[in-house]
Amino acid sequence: MSQFFEMGGYAAFVWPAYAVTLAAIVLNIVWARRALARSREEARRRLSMRGEGP
Amino acid sequence: MTWTWFHRLGSPPYVYTLAARLTPWFAWPAALLIIGGLWGGLVLAPPDYQQGDGFRIIYVHAPSAWMSLMVYTTMAVAAAVGLIWRIKVAHAVAASCAPIGASFTFAALVTGALWGEPMWGTYWEWDPRLTSELILLFLYLGYMGLRAGLEDTQRADRASAVLAVVGVVNVPIIHYSVTWWNSLHQAPSVMRLAKPTMAASMLVPLLMMLLGFTLFFGAVLLVRLRGEVLSRERSASWIREIVKA
Amino acid sequence: MSAYGSPATGVAVQAAPVARQAWAGSRQAPMLEAAGLALARDLQLAFRKRGQLVQPLAFFAMVTMLFPLAISPELARLREIAPGVLWAGALLASLLALEFLFRDDAYDGTLEQYALSGQSLTWLIFAKTAAHWLLTGLPLALMAPLAALSLGVSAAAVPGIVASVAVGSVALSLIGSIGAALTLGIKRSGALLSLLTLPLSLPVLIFGARATQLAITGGPLLAPLELLAALAVLGVTLAPLAAAAAVRISLE
């Protein structure tokens, strides 16, 4: 198991590379969901400002 | 041949519900493929005979680099469609692409540098591919900066679309000139990371990662697209249904 | 609005008859005639504000001066980096002037008049870009040898340097016109304009610096010069279309 994490001596390069890419994936999910939530919130506010909202 | 499907894609409420319905069909296969690709790339694939375990960076570097170009192309095509046929939804697609592409371009640069240190002995080599990737990051940042600078959404859509189309015309010229420039200044003896023929156990995880990243792009794009479509609709009654839900 | 108010429109009224005389004799297609008038107007306006004309040139001279001070006064070393210094300086100086390419005309409504005039906006934008090149690119090309000589380059390299900067700056002006048109109306657009324009200008920098380097070392510089010319031709055919589209979008 520890041999796997050592990556034949390349651990200092392999794992950061995987971490950065994983971070890009996770951040994309978080940002996209947040952007959608923000748009929905804005739409709700627009509707309620004109007195027809929920 | 009827064009109704095409016209329906121009209708915001249809696109919103379609995007919501399609998202899981992209997200779950993407998750499975990426997890499978990671397992195959990190565990099953044997170490490279020259690069040892260092070559495993390819399973994150190559898909990130692929995303950076594929997303830019998607963005430019969507922008052109939006400009020519004045379709709001197409502009919404283009606007959704930029942050995704920029983040993966950044990841491609960092993973490329992390691959360069053990293979070239330096984090940064003015290699034509890394240099082109860096320029691509600036193109993305310029696109996002222009959008941020223009307050009116419609104007931001159309102006950034012109920029995206101009950029995509330039990308091959930039790539060619950078390759030409590099060939003048660098001895070709620098170790190339070219893969002559890959064993299937190495290649299959790579293909899984490439497909997985592409589907992941689709899923994130669909989520962002819904947000962009909503923010472009001012007063439509269909929004009321969605916001209530 | 006193006698000094809205200088551009005032001058436009005065400039038009002068320019029209120059063009009256020719029986050109109307769009070429309109483009010629726009070019003459821009040149005339620029020469009334000579201070602004000199600014990019002074900037270029100062950038060139930075390198001996920052690196070393040894001419042998400076000669080696001269192509890079000249081209980075020319690129930045051309960029500096870009911000003013459309700005005044957008503020006083001239661009809107152009768009509504029924003339081809593409040609009018092309004329404005040509004026920009005549006022910055060409002077830079003529000044580049002076900067080169101060960096220890031999006089034999002068024709090659002038040619490469002159041709390359055509492409720079054209690429820049797109960025300038896209950022119209954005406050403090300078940094954004650089971010949009510089990545697209890199091929010009690469081929231009190479041609200059070959001119300095006495090598065959025709190949990079031809590539520069190809970029300029491509720019002439495509950039005015994109810039005109961008101007139209900003006027909507």
- Percent of chain C residues past pLDDT 70, beyond the cut: 88
In this predicted structure, the answer to whether residue C18 has a pLDDT above a threshold of 50 is no
By residue range, what is the domain housing residue B215? 64-184+197-245
Write the single-letter amino acid at C38: A
Q: CB-based contact (8 Å) between B122 and chain A?
A: no
Per-residue tokens: B125? 């080599």
Is B29 within the bounds of a domain? Answer: no
Interface of C with B (CB under 8 A): 178, 182-183, 185-186, 189, 192, 195-196, 198-200, 202-203, 206-207, 210, 227, 231, 234, 238, 242, 245-246, 249-250, 252
Question: Which range of residues forms the domain containing residue C104?
Answer: 7-251
Q: How high is the pLDDT of residue C24?
A: 47
Asked if residue B190 belongs to a domain, the reply is no
Domain count, chain B: 1
Candidates A10, A4, A24, A23; CA nearest to B39 is A4
Pair of tokens at residue B131? 């240099």
Q: Is there a domain that residue B111 lies in?
A: yes
pLDDT tens digits, one per residue of C150-182: 998 888 899 999 999 999 999 999 999 999 999
Minimal CA–CA distance to B160: which of C250, C199, C201? C250
Of B107, B242, B243, the CB nearest to A21: B107
Instruction: Report in angstroms the alpha-carbon separations of C70 from B188, C67, C150.
Output: 32, 5, 15
Rounded mean pLDDT, B190-207? 70
Residue B20 domain-assigned? Answer: no
- Chain A residues lying within 8 Å of B110, measured CB to CB: 16-17, 20
pLDDT digits (tens, 9 = 90+) for B34-61: 999 999 988 888 888 777 788 889 999 9
Q: Give dist(CA B237, CA B244) in Å, integer.
A: 11
pTM: 0.88
pLDDT value at residue B95? 95
Task: Sketch the domain layout of chain A as residue ranges.
Answer: 7-49
Domains: count for chain C: 1
Establish if C2 belongs to a structural domain.
no
Q: Is residue B51 part of a domain?
A: no
When CB atoms are compared, the residue of B43, B115, B239 closest to A17 is B115
- With a pLDDT cut of 70, the percent of chain B lying above it is 93
**Residues, chain C, total?**
252
Is residue B224 pLDDT above 90, yes or no? yes
Neighbours of A31 (CB within 10 A): 16
